[in-house]
Amino acid sequence: MISVTGFSKNYGETLAVQDLSFDVSGGSILGMLGPNGAGKTTTLRAMAGILQPTSGRLLIGSHDIVQESVAAKQQLALVPDDPHLFDSLTVWEHLELIAAAYRVADFSAAAEALLEQFELADKRHTSARELSRGMRQKAAICCAYLHRPAAILFDEPMTGLDPRGIRTLKDSIRQQAAGGAAVVISSHLLSLVEDLCTHLLIMHHGRQLFCGSMEDARTRYQALEGDSSLEAVFFRATES
């Protein structure tokens, strides 16, 4: 469902990402790990069509995000680390806008279910400017799920969420993957990635250090004393 081949991104003389390649099939959850500046957010934004790649090809389904941007984005949702909602629109008006943009017919029942799931039903008529940071995040997630995307990208999705919101989001991500969506999560929370993800992509200085299943990562990077936790995997991969 997601295919990235030879992706590189330069900002002038600065090489943010170099020759990155990976695939994410439907039903899989890929965790992107790396220190600050590793190129994770740059990669997500390029996959979403926000940034133009310097070289390489990025496909959502069978559609090139550059050459067939509309067709690719119809199958895609991105939840950034700091969602920029429209301050003057209510939560429900955001859902109406998404339904119109993606041509989702009879969206009301699905929208109602999402508001209930993320505990926003009583905030449906509240404008975005009046929402807390966590509620804005939940509203953005509801908007992302509404058109039933086949590929979902998350950049630090737990920011601002309380413990119940975190559990709800984790359950929802599992549900989306079980329904056939390909999910990518970029996060510094190793516990989140270890709990949710089936596959792992580790980046450092814009380069790919590892891409494969969680089991393969543990086998490859386990410490001499047998520590195969994701924390041990991460530090052995990035510091070796």
101 Cβ neighbours under 8 A, 6+ residues apart: none
Helix (H) or strand (E) holding 113: helix 108-117
Name residue, tokens 């494969």.
Answer: 212
Least confident among 119-133, 171-185, 222-236: 222-236
Which residue type occupies 18?
A: Q
Reported as a single tens digit per residue, the pLDDT across 84-120 is: 999 999 999 999 999 999 999 999 999 999 999 999 9
Reported as a single tens digit per residue, the pLDDT across 186-216 is: 999 999 999 999 999 999 999 999 999 999 9
pLDDT band at 239 (very low <50, low <70, confident <90, very high): confident
CB 65 within 8 A of CB 153: no
Which domains can be identified in the chain, with CATH numbers? 1-69+151-161+181-240 (3.40.50.300), 76-148 (no CATH)
Closest CA to 153 of 35, 45, 6: 45
Say what the pLDDT of residue 218 is.
87
